[in-house]
A = this chain, B = another copy of it.
Amino acid sequence: MFRIVSAVAFALSPVLSPTIAQDSAPSLTAKQAETVDGLIDAGLEDDIAWELLESLTTEIGPRLGGSEAEARAREWGVARLKSLGFRNVRIETFEMPYWSRISDSAEIVSPFSQPLTVTALGQSIATPPEGVSGEIARFETLPELVAAPLEGFEGKIIFVDEMMARTQDGSGYGVAVAKRTLAGAEAGKRGAVAALIRSAGTSGNRFAHTGKGVRGLGESAVPIAALANADADQVARALERADEPVVIRLKISVETRSATMSGNVIGEIPGKTDEIILVGGHLDSWDLGTGAVDDGVGVAITAAAAKLVGDLPGRPQRTIRVIMWGAEEVGLLGANAYAEKYADDLENHAVASESDFGAGRVYRFDTRFGEENLPKGAVMAGALRRLSIAPGHNQAFGGPDVTPLRARGVPVVSLSQSGWDYFDLHHTADDTIDKIDPEAVRQNVAAWAAFIYMASEMEGDFR
């Protein structure tokens, strides 16, 4: 997941109360209700999502946006969607700038000489081969750095030691992303030679969390890297214990190219109409782990769920479009390319959603529907109750890759997952399949299959 933009800032009371549904027109027919239950039963026994997840994370592994590995992942996606029976399977390519890590390291030079666990942030510029060294200037928070004078930090390394809060809904991440994307520019303004941040992540193990280090698509103002939480602690302790400046050396080597190819992989279950239910996950990952929770499992859940709906007799009412988004982590590039390509067709997008918050169970169903269509959301939420999913609010985020669609008025939903431990793994080398509970994946598949089916069959729209 690249960023949670706005929805997480809300703390809304549930508005999708099922009582609304009882008083209002929309409801499922008996046959539809039976089909939903059958899909949930099938989802709870699904093995396809796990097979997709294991295949992607084993046979491709890390797949940085724009890399050769991501290209292999697209071929994988095409082959898998075809073999699952999807139609109109295709890659929609787009061009993008390329950045990749070659190597990164950091060490305390003095007084307590020792290596530190660090990772360069995405889009960081390189250091000279010998690295950059500087006295550490520590800030407790990003706002403290922003408020600091512009003079007095020349030649230093600015260190933003802000801790990320662990929350169920991932709401600690917004603050952490601000630190990650702004610290480099703030350091550059002050003539610092580099920026270090405490990782935007909650891992209690010694992993540094990477992620995009700048706003927009440019390069960072200074070399920027994230320390593992344990190493941020270590630097803070060193500053307390030293009776002289603490000097750190940072080395970053990167490869950049002005243009490379990426693409979105698409497959469809053609419906009776050309209205589209758009679901998916993003195919790219950061380079450190194998992209299991971020976002192999989202790709796997949505494809497996759509396949269950595709296996039903007859055509769905609407077309179900599964998309494996390209180059999400590095700036929602696949999302923007899609929104541009389909700019004139967005009216046909009935509802969109992405699974991109790991492999935790879905605990709440949120929508962003027009007021008059809220009862439909309540019907959907009601049908998901047997999966221990509660009705939610009507300010759904929908997932990072549907952000450009949401901004253009496409209704979205969120099958909100527990994110309590998601940021322990997020953007680290530790993002591997062994962390994932197959039963939780099945619960997700069941929920998505039920949602996709209901979204496809309900009359009228969600706007």
Q: Are B434 and A230 in contact (CB under 8 A)?
A: yes
Minimum C-beta distance from A97 to chain B (A):
23
Q: Which of A113, A233, A433 has the most CB of B within 10 A?
A: A113
Instruction: Count identical subunits in the complex.
Output: 2
- Interface size bracket, A side: 20 to 34
Q: Are B432 and A230 in contact (CB under 8 A)?
A: yes
Q: Which of A54, A61, A205, A238 has the most CB of B within 10 A?
A: A205
Closest to A68 in B: B113
Q: Does A85 contact B (CB under 8 A)?
A: no
Q: Does A290 contact B (CB under 8 A)?
A: yes
Q: Does A87 contact B (CB under 8 A)?
A: no
Q: Are A241 and B59 in contact (CB under 8 A)?
A: yes
Given contacts A206-B432, A430-B206, A434-B204, contact A237 B54 (CB under 8 A): yes
> How far, in angstroms, from A113 to B70 measured CA to CA in the complex?
12
Q: Are B429 and A112 in contact (CB under 8 A)?
A: no
Q: Are A290 and B59 in contact (CB under 8 A)?
A: no
Given contacts A205-B205, A206-B432, contact A112 B237 (CB under 8 A): no
Q: Does A88 contact B (CB under 8 A)?
A: no
> How far, in angstroms, from A207 to B69 measured CA to CA in the complex?
23
> Interface digits, A112-151 against B, CB 8 Å rule (1 contact, 0 not)?
1111010000000000000000000000000000000000
Q: Does A62 contact B (CB under 8 A)?
A: yes
Select which of B62, B114, B229, B289 is within 8 A of A290 by beta carbon.
B114
> How far, in angstroms, from A326 to B160 measured CA to CA in the complex?
37
Given contacts A234-B290, A434-B230, contact A59 B205 (CB under 8 A): no
Minimum C-beta distance from A386 to chain B (A):
32
Q: Are A61 and B432 in contact (CB under 8 A)?
A: no
Select which of B61, B113, B205, B241 is within 8 A of A112 by beta carbon.
B61
Given contacts A69-B113, A113-B69, A290-B114, contact A429 B206 (CB under 8 A): yes
Q: Which of A222-255 contact B (CB under 8 A)?
A: 229-230, 233-234, 237-238, 241
Q: Are B237 and A205 in contact (CB under 8 A)?
A: no
Q: Does A58 contact B (CB under 8 A)?
A: yes
Closest to A430 in B: B206
Chain B residues near A117 (CB, 8 Å)?
Answer: 429
Q: Are A434 and B54 in contact (CB under 8 A)?
A: no
Q: Which of A60, A114, A206, A430 has the most CB of B within 10 A?
A: A206
Chain B residues near A167 (CB, 8 Å)?
Answer: none
Select which of B112, B204, B207, B229 is within 8 A of A59 by beta carbon.
B112
Q: Are A114 and B62 in contact (CB under 8 A)?
A: yes
